[in-house]
Amino acid sequence: MERLGHFVNAVLGIGEDVGLTDVLGNLVPAARELVGARYAALGVLADDGEFLAEFLHDGVDQDTAVRIGRLPQGHGLLGLLISDPQPIRLRDLTTHPASYGFPEHHPPMRSFLGVPVRIGDRVFGNLYLTDKIDAGEFTAEDEDFTVALASVAGMVIENARLYDESQAKAVSLERANREIERLAVIEDRERIGRELHDTIVQRIFSSGMTLQAVAQACEDTRPDVAKRINEVIDDLDQTIRQIRTAIFSLDTASDTTSDVRLSLLRVVAEASRLLDFEPELSIEGPVDALVPHAVRDDAVSVLREALTNVVRHAEATSVRVRVVADADSLSLEITDNGVGPDEHASGGRGVLNMRQRASRRGGSHAIRREDNRTVVWWQVPLP
């Protein structure tokens, strides 16, 4: 009855925690106390089932363990239990043919009891108990209780593994939900920025152009009116700059992996000062979430090269930039109403750079003429 009480306490001890690490940590001292062993260990098998991936021990102090050095890998007598997972009980393990002996600084051990720990039909690992206290060897009763404990341990270990897996899935799900929320915020900010730029800024710019024409018409007949209109135009230009600053702030505030939209907006803003008109920019898809830094740098360089060619050679009065990002690729399409590609420096250094940047990433580049417009196309796959 006393041994049965120890067994119940051992079972309760290994099952008091739910995580696998804690369960394994509880099992080793519980087994040692159950049979009155001086030393105990649990060897956890590797996935291939041929060697030990983990070795937990109890009874050997930390300083001695450090001096011993490398933990057992499953050779010798320990390997015998791996190749033939049946209980082994020995009076003197040093006399067994499979015994390798002990490394330097290892405490001497004689009596031995080894029992496999199974999860269903699979062997999870082995319990090793050595040096029966106050006796020369382990008894058959010790073996029976240890086998019973190993059987219960197998079920507890399986439950602990399922618990750990469920916790890991819960953590992964939480991370996924956070990522979805983050992407939703990014897309919402991109949508706001896109609407501000593609709708509001374009309308203000168009109104400014109309007012500018009216001011020119009034210059001779009503200079006071022309002056006031030009002041309004200046106010509109300032409003556009403020809106662009707000757009940039939206992109900067996004906790993103790559500030693609912000970089592209800056390139277009730089070009607008040289072109004396505002290129139309549309960005489709969550570019900041999908495009890594390296691809962003190439895309920004390509856009800058294309717009520089427009400034220098195209004599264009309108430019449209379309950027599209999806799960597979990033594409840029720059269309202007200027002269054709022959006069458009299609064989220049800038075009060569665009072509090389596409080729290096397994993408494509082309310049073509469509409906009296020049179209620069650049596309690369996304990793």
Domains in the chain, CATH or no CATH each? 2-171 (3.30.450.40), 257-383 (3.30.565.10)
- Residues 165-191 pLDDT 10s: 888 788 778 777 777 777 777 777 777
**Structure-model confidence comparison of residues 66 and 193, the more confident one:** 66
Q: Phi, psi (5° rounding) for residue 166? A: -65, -40
- How many angstroms separate the CA atoms of 194 and 266, rounded? 14
Distances (CA, A) of 85 to 126, 149, 160, 224, 247: 8, 16, 23, 103, 68
**How does residue 376 score in pLDDT terms, banded at 50, 70 and 90?**
very high
Sequence-separated (6 or more) residues with CB below 8 Å from residue 335: 319, 320, 321, 322, 373, 374, 375, 376
- What the block records as the tokens of 20 is 């696998």
**Structure-model confidence comparison of residues 249 and 129, the more confident one:** 129
Q: Where are the alpha helices (DSSP H) in the chain?
A: 2-14, 20-35, 62-68, 76-83, 140-195, 202-218, 223-253, 260-275, 287-290, 293-309, 349-360
Predicted pLDDT of residue 3? 67
**How does residue 322 score in pLDDT terms, banded at 50, 70 and 90?**
very high
**How does residue 250 score in pLDDT terms, banded at 50, 70 and 90?**
low
Residues 208-226: what's their mean pLDDT? 86
**What is the distance, to the nearest Å, from the Cα of residue 41 to the centroid of all Cα atoms in its chain?**
37
Query: What integer best gives the mean pLDDT of the chain?
Result: 83
C-beta contacts of 262-265 below 8 A and 24+ residues apart: 263/296, 263/299, 263/300, 264/299, 264/300, 264/303, 264/321, 264/323, 265/193, 265/197
- How many angstroms separate the CA atoms of 241 and 236, rounded? 9
Q: Is the pLDDT of residue 271 over 80?
A: yes
- Residues 92-127 pLDDT 10s: 998 888 887 788 888 999 999 999 998 888 888 899
- Residues 45-73 pLDDT 10s: 887 777 888 888 898 888 888 888 877 77
**Structure-model confidence comparison of residues 9 and 223, the more confident one:** 223
CB atoms within 10 A of CB 286: 21
